[in-house]
Copies of this chain bind each other. A is one copy, B any other.
Amino acid sequence: MTLLGLLEGGPSHGYELKRSYDTKFSPDRPLPFGQVYATLSRLQRDGFVVVEGLEAGSGPDRKTYAVTEAGRAALDEWLAEPEPPEPHLQAVLFTKVVLALLSERSAARFLDLQRAAHLDRMRSLTELRREGDLIDSLLADHALFHLEADLRWIDLTESRLDALAAEVSG
């Protein structure tokens, strides 16, 4: 869907889309080329894009894609809909805590280690947020807020470990 969105700004080809995606949305983790071309094939298969033509650029030919009406409609729908807010109640942190309690391992130690890892990550994100551009800093803030949420949950859970142990084993 994100590739479709980028394509809406004007016809383009895989290589350029990947570049655009990386700088605009994922400065951290570049999108693998394999996935780009695979996704474009699927978008084409589903009628959301069409191949507009082959252009000779600098190097190999470029296969330019353009969004269709169906593609624009799909994008419209996707962008208008809010994301499902945490639909499934499930969390890996919770799972590890419960499994630790069930097996005589120390859940408290795990929570402490997790808190330390989170705090460490928060420090580096805070730096990125100061030094980066607005995109970096908004993404960093997003991650920071969620790490803080985890920290709150870790504290809460730690304070209720005894009750949890009782409920889980019982």
**Chain A interface residues (CB < 8 Å from chain B):** 2, 5-6, 8-9, 24-29, 75, 78-80, 82-86, 88-96, 98-100, 102-103, 105, 110, 113-114, 116-118, 120-122, 125, 128, 133-136, 138-143, 145-150, 152-153, 156-157, 160, 163-164, 167-168
Contact of A88 among B28, B85, B167, B168 (CB under 8 A): B28
A11 vs B124: C-alpha distance when bound (angstroms): 43
User: A-B pairs with the 8 shortest C-beta distances?
Assistant: A145-B149, A5-B99, A85-B121, A82-B117, A82-B114, A89-B139, A86-B143, A149-B149
A82 vs B116: C-alpha distance when bound (angstroms): 9
> Do A142 and B153 have beta carbons less than 8 Å apart?
yes
List residues of chain B with CB within 8 A of the CB of A9: 102-103
List residues of chain B with CB within 8 A of the CB of A110: 79-80, 82
> Do B160 and A134 have beta carbons less than 8 Å apart?
yes
> Do A93 and B153 have beta carbons less than 8 Å apart?
no
The secondary structure that dominates the A interface is helix
> Do B82 and A135 have beta carbons less than 8 Å apart?
no
From residue A142, how far is it (CB to closest CB) to chain B in Å?
A: 5
> Do A145 and B139 have beta carbons less than 8 Å apart?
no
List residues of chain B with CB within 8 A of the CB of A134: 160, 163-164, 167
> Do B95 and A2 have beta carbons less than 8 Å apart?
yes
Residue among A85, A153, A160 with most chain B CB within 10 A: A85
List residues of chain B with CB within 8 A of the CB of A105: 79
A157 vs B134: C-alpha distance when bound (angstroms): 10
Residue among A99, A100, A120 with most chain B CB within 10 A: A99
